[in-house]
Structure 1
């Protein structure tokens, strides 16, 4: 049986960076889709894994990262999708959720064969994470209404690349299934 995990990328964000205001607009649009995915994954009992930058704070852990994001200028974008007590958490330092993190090991231990990606930024961290999932022989789904971007043209190109080059399923959040199924 296939087992699916939801991977939430970089949504615990302080929005204190150069492209923040452009990104915030897109995050507001993606938030309903992310909430839909979280609800569907949790209802199905699928693992939810938050993978997040540490913002260069090398002594931080997931609680501190969440606290920093909730204390930031846009806590309203973080609070509705904050991890619950069952969520798993992986800290990353680079663009890919897999690069030098324990994510691959964690997914293997959970017997995951498919990942659903959501979060930010479509044309950067989501794209690189999809590629790394693909080369690890994981099936990839990206919920196109649950990813945020800085550059809309690059985001659209990234989604097309994921679909064509990585055989990713690009679907809206309300069509993404999390139930165990050999074909999903």
Structure 2
């Protein structure tokens, strides 16, 4: 009696079947799940079976009134705007089997992943509260992996099965395993959300576009504490050069219609 072959891979999306004498490299077929949505000026159809969402930097340090940005005098009200639409969207995506990927700033405790140039951006005098320094209010270490400061805001508590990737740059593709994870998940279409839209969200979306992914900016699930013209330029540039711009409501309506 032949023994069953064993799966060798991650989660079945990218796996071989092997035993002591053979290896079957044929991946399991993916049944397409078309979903159409408005992404002006076009109506676009995606394959939900090969789609994921990347939520960027919705963390206490960027979005909480007691976090780092608020401490240095930034009004974090705009950064909190994506919370409500994401809270409505993410459970629906999870229920539909769409991977939710949290791409959060999370530095090493020894800061060996941070260059002086990067440290200077956030602490130009060297005397302020910069990356890895304790917040005066609660002592939490700024954007350090595992700290309260680097945690996702409570309103968007990640679910079991969500995927977490720590980054240390504006782009989540630089010096991280993000691309390997996306390839193993067999994803081709990526929705982007989070803060700041004109910085980490845009940089990551652009790199995804450069590497051949189909990219969407969820405008209502993204925000920035920069001036309004920065968001306007981000939307313009994504639509013009790097992918599509749509709303979470359009995606939800498309999914409902497909059901």
Same fold (TM over 0.5): yes
User: Which residue of structure 2 aligns with residue 73 of structure 1?
Assistant: none
Q: CA distance change for structure 1 residues 41 and 62 in 2, over 3 Å: closer, same or farther?
A: farther
How many angstroms does 1:174 deviate by? 1.3
More helix by share: 1
For the pair shown, the structure with the greater C-alpha radius of gyration is 2
Contact 1:119 1:146 in 2 (8 A): yes
RMSD: 2.6
TM-score relative to the length of structure 2: 0.59
Q: CA distance change for structure 1 residues 105 and 20 in 2, over 3 Å: closer, same or farther?
A: farther
Q: CA distance change for structure 1 residues 158 and 148 in 2, over 3 Å: closer, same or farther?
A: same
Q: Which residues of 2 match residues 1-150 of structure 1 at below 5 A?
A: 1=32, 2=47, 3-14=50-61, 15-17=67-69, 21-22=74-75, 24-55=76-107, 57=109, 64-65=146-147, 67-69=148-150, 78-150=153-225
How many angstroms does 1:40 deviate by? 2.3
User: Which residue of structure 2 aligns with residue 157 of structure 1?
Assistant: 233
TM-score relative to the length of structure 1: 0.82
The ranges of structure 1 where at least 4 consecutive aligned residues each deviate by more than 4 angstroms after the TM superposition are 58-63
Q: CA distance change for structure 1 residues 58 and 113 in 2, over 3 Å: closer, same or farther?
A: farther
Q: CA distance change for structure 1 residues 141 and 51 in 2, over 3 Å: closer, same or farther?
A: same
Work out the CA distance in 2 between the residues paired with 1:49 and 1:28.
19
Q: Which consecutive residues of structure 2, in runs of 5 or more, have no partner in the other structure?
A: 1-31, 33-46, 62-66, 112-140
Question: Any idea what the Cα deviations from partners look like across 1:38-96, whole Å, max 9, x if unmatched?
Answer: 1221121111110111156358999724x4456xxxxxx81111211111000000001
How many angstroms does 1:31 deviate by? 1.3
Work out the CA distance in 2 between the residues paired with 1:47 and 1:150.
27
How many angstroms does 1:118 deviate by? 0.4
Q: CA distance change for structure 1 residues 85 and 129 in 2, over 3 Å: closer, same or farther?
A: same
Aligned pairs, how many? 170
